[in-house]
Chains A and B, each alone.
Chain A
Amino acid sequence: MTTGTTTAPTAPSAAPPQHRNRKRTNRLPLILIVPALVLLVAALGYPIGWQVVTSFREYGLLQQFGAPAPFVGLDNYVALVTDPYTWTVVVRSIVFCVVTAVVTVAIGGAMAVLMNALTTWPRVVLQVALLLAWAMPVVAAMTVWIWIVDWRRGLLNWSLVRLGVDGAEGHNWLAEPLSFFVVASVIIVWMSVPFVALSIYAGLTQVSTEVLEAAELDGATGIQRLRHIIVPIIAPVLSIVMLLQLIWDLRVFTQIKLLQDAGGVTNETNLLGTYVYQLGTGKGDFGTASAVSILILVLTIALSGYYVRSLMKEDV
């Protein structure tokens, strides 16, 4: 009945029942996507094209100021790929991104389920808290977090010392790369969970309570209801959110850069985002920076290929 349709939202529900509608419906979707197409081509066409082309050229500050930019074919890419540092950064970024994204979606999903089970007032309080966290400007948020982990004046050390952990006094959480990344991950999870939780919660509200009640009456436990009714409905939202977290966490920049400014050894804590920045804005080597950007694109496709394919398959 309803379970049949709710578990297969991608069933060919779009097939028009009557013949005479077919011709009209074929043009309608194209018209619907025209605004998006026009906008994207106009605003992104040139920049993306420029970046692709520049990745095949030698383009530094000299070229920015008028010198000709010779085509060097794959030279930029070859230089990148043969540099062991690039691979260090890539591996670090992948590990960091996967761990952070998974933790984010897990916590966010759990929070969404929690919010769904709460009565109104506690839920609103939690939502407001999440919203406040999400609305906080990144600079302010990072300032607070950097202060929290500060080795001298930080709240974390101060609290730990008061709890009896003497070794925590003056402990520098950013000095060692591993510790640095744990801190970075915690911060980014904190920043990303609100969006994930609120999105998944929005998806959860689409789950019919009647169906859930009926299942409960039939004897299904909470976990079973979760697995067989709830998850399939929110699956599209869940997978998109996960995909986006992967994409974003792979290229995270601002948070890492601000943490690097506060402590730690830059070249031991570079991820792809700060690496591109260092090459581009820092050194003015835009040719290589563009090549790294393309590399990030390729990596992202590779990393999320599974997701992308399953999403595409669902539709087709």
Chain B
Amino acid sequence: MHRSRAKSTLLTALALVLAVVWAFPVYWMLNSAFLPNVVLQSATPTFLPFGGSLDNLRAVATDPAFGQALTISLIVTITTVVAAIMIAFLGALAISRFRFRGRGSFVLALLLIQMLPAEGLFIAQYKMMSSLGLLNQAIGLAVLYTAAVVPFTIWMLRGFVAGVPADLEEAAMVDGLSRTRAFLKITFPLLAPGLVASAVYAFLQAWNEFTVALVIMTEEQSRTLPLWLRGFVQASASRETDWGQVMAASTLVAVPVIIFFLVVQGRMSSGLVGGAVKG
């Protein structure tokens, strides 16, 4: 008993140290968002934003372009996440629960697609979107993002589906449940953490993507948040880069992601998982 309490304290301490290390840059971003630019350039770091102000955040949040970029990013990203999870989930089911002709090739193709670097594709993607008239359209960008995210998501979900033995479903079916009900009641909750992880990954990819958005969303009013953020990181004839504003803008860009995770995490807690396994 003693040993495990000591062990528990040790582990907790370790967890806290790791948490501090990992969250430090985020803390610094927040700290900088409150400080004026000149202070940030100094040779002595300022750790706490005393004497700081909400000026940066206010200037950035009241920028009308922010609201617009936020809306576009939300539309593109949510569309991408929903579409990707649905499509990828079906695909993952197919390749891990069934055997069919062409499965091997499909799986291989998924893998190969991911191995091709995306940086060289933007020229062709532009031409394609331009000829389809989908430039500056949220739906066009969402399609490109979904396609970029699906191969990996299928792979990831496949791992989770494979980790849930089909025997559990079989056992439930022996107990009288239909295959679908067995799936929904037993397997699906066990996949919840995997779906969450995939959803968060898809969200982040779409939310933070830059290069494709740069060439597809050519007009100012169709900019996504990363493009909008870019506008702050610019020195010009009349001003140098205001890093305080860059950090404030970055903070605002990061906030929706955090909200998303908290929402998703709340819905699918491991309490569900524990329950399904024990039951």
Contacts and interface: CB of A to CB of B under 8 A. Distances in A.
Binding between chains A and B: yes
A40 B113 contact: yes
B41 interface: yes
A48 B12 contact: no
Interface in A30-58: 30, 32-33, 35-37, 39-40, 42-44, 46-51, 54
A101 interface: no
Contact of A47 (B29, B94, B121): B121
B128 A46 contact: yes
A125 interface: yes
A178 interface: no
B147 A44 contact: yes
A119 interface: yes
Contacts of B274: 209
A272 B143 CA distance: 27
A236 B158 contact: yes
A311 to B, nearest CB: 8
Interface in B11-50: 11-12, 14-16, 18-20, 22-23, 25-26, 28-29, 32, 41-45
A233 B163 contact: yes
Central interface residue in B45, B100, B120, B167, by most chain A CB within 10 Å: B120
Q: How big is chain B's contact interface, by range?
A: 35 or more
B111 interface: yes
Q: Is the interface of B mostly helix, strand, loop or mixed?
A: helix
A277 interface: yes
Given A6-B165, A39-B150, A140-B29, A126 B15 contact: yes
Contact of A13 (B154, B160, B166): B166
A120 to B, nearest CB: 10
A9 B190 CA distance: 14
B117 A251 contact: yes
A253 B122 CA distance: 15
Nearest to B165: A5
A293 B45 contact: no
Given A33-B90, A126-B19, A293-B116, A136 B165 contact: no
B97 interface: yes
A202 B161 CA distance: 12
12 contacts: A15-B99, A35-B90, A39-B87, A47-B124, A48-B116, A126-B15, A131-B200, A135-B261, A136-B254, A140-B254, A206-B164, A308-B108
A144 B29 CA distance: 7
A62 B44 CA distance: 50
A208 B274 CA distance: 8
Given A36-B154, A140-B254, A203 B123 contact: no
Contact of A28 (B12, B98, B120, B128): B98
A98 interface: no
Contacts of B83: 39
Contacts, number: 302
A194 B12 CA distance: 18
Contacts of B26: 129, 132-133, 136
Nearest to B87: A35
Interface of A: 5-6, 9-10, 12-15, 17, 25-26, 28-30, 32-33, 35-37, 39-40, 42-44, 46-51, 54, 64, 111, 114-115, 117-119, 122-123, 125-126, 128-141, 143-145, 147-148, 152-153, 155, 158, 190, 193-195, 198-199, 201-203, 205-206, 208-210, 233-234, 236-237, 239-240, 244, 247, 251, 253-254, 272-273, 276-277, 280, 286, 289-290, 292-294, 296-297, 300-301, 304, 308, 312, 315-316
B17 to A, nearest CB: 10
Given A26-B100, A119-B12, A203-B163, A139 B229 contact: yes
B1 to A, nearest CB: 15
B246 A139 contact: yes
Closest 3 CB pairs of A and B: A140-B250, A43-B147, A202-B193
Contacts of B125: 47
